[in-house]
Amino acid sequence: MVRSADYRKTFTEGCIKYAQNLGVSASLANRAYSSVTKSLKRLRNEEDKGEEFLRDLTVHGNPWIRVLASAFLLPIAEEFAKIRLEELSAELDSDPLFSTRLAGFEARQLLEQWALGRLRLHLMNGEVEIPPWQITP
């Protein structure tokens, strides 16, 4: 049986690997994202649905961990997640590193698509099949 700390570590490491492979290798980015979603499924089985852990990650040093954690909070702590994504969008948008600016852009896109009701976030029932930013047709 995997301990709580193990899948929490897998979640954060997967976020980092995902960001590192964006634009480099879709295959590796998808594999990393898959490890994130598998860990998220385990988090959703916790009493608080992983909310405390994800809230803690919204102040992590890695911008992609902050953005993804905030995105995954939308279904369970919407107002908190929206505030964090707004802050991240403004904060990261002016960073000199392209990958960090991309995380800021992602935060902005998540907010826009969430407001339009076009995000498919199947997180409460354990179905995490697609990235949080994928738009429904």
Q: Does residue 39 carry a pLDDT above 50?
A: yes
Q: So what's the pLDDT on residue 125?
A: 47
Asked if the structure places residue 35 within a domain, the reply is yes
Asked if the structure places residue 137 within a domain, the reply is no
Q: So what's the pLDDT on residue 22?
A: 84
Q: Does residue 135 carry a pLDDT above 50?
A: no
**pTM for the whole structure:** 0.82
How many domains, the chain? 1
Q: Does residue 132 carry a pLDDT above 60?
A: no
Q: So what's the pLDDT on residue 120?
A: 66
Q: For residues 19 and 53, what is the distance between their CA atoms, to the nearest angstrom?
A: 20
Asked if the structure places residue 99 within a domain, the reply is yes
Q: For residues 99 and 24, what is the distance between their CA atoms, to the nearest angstrom?
A: 12
Asked if the structure places residue 122 within a domain, the reply is no
Asked if the structure places residue 87 within a domain, the reply is yes
Q: So what's the pLDDT on residue 29?
A: 87
Percent of the chain with pLDDT over 70: 84
Per-residue pLDDT tens for 56-104?
A: 999 999 999 999 999 999 988 999 999 999 999 998 878 888 888 888 9
Range of the domain at 105: 4-115
* Averaged pLDDT for residues 40-48: 88
Q: Does residue 122 carry a pLDDT above 60?
A: no
Q: What is the secondary structure of 93-122 as a DSSP string?
A: TT-SSHHHHHHHHHHHHHHHHHHTT-B---
Asked if the structure places residue 125 within a domain, the reply is no
Q: How much is the mean pLDDT over the chain?
A: 83
* Averaged pLDDT for residues 18-36: 88
Asked if the structure places residue 72 within a domain, the reply is yes
Q: Does residue 42 carry a pLDDT above 50?
A: yes
Asked if the structure places residue 136 within a domain, the reply is no
CATH of the domain at 28: 1.25.40.70
Q: For residues 67 and 97, what is the distance between their CA atoms, to the nearest angstrom?
A: 16
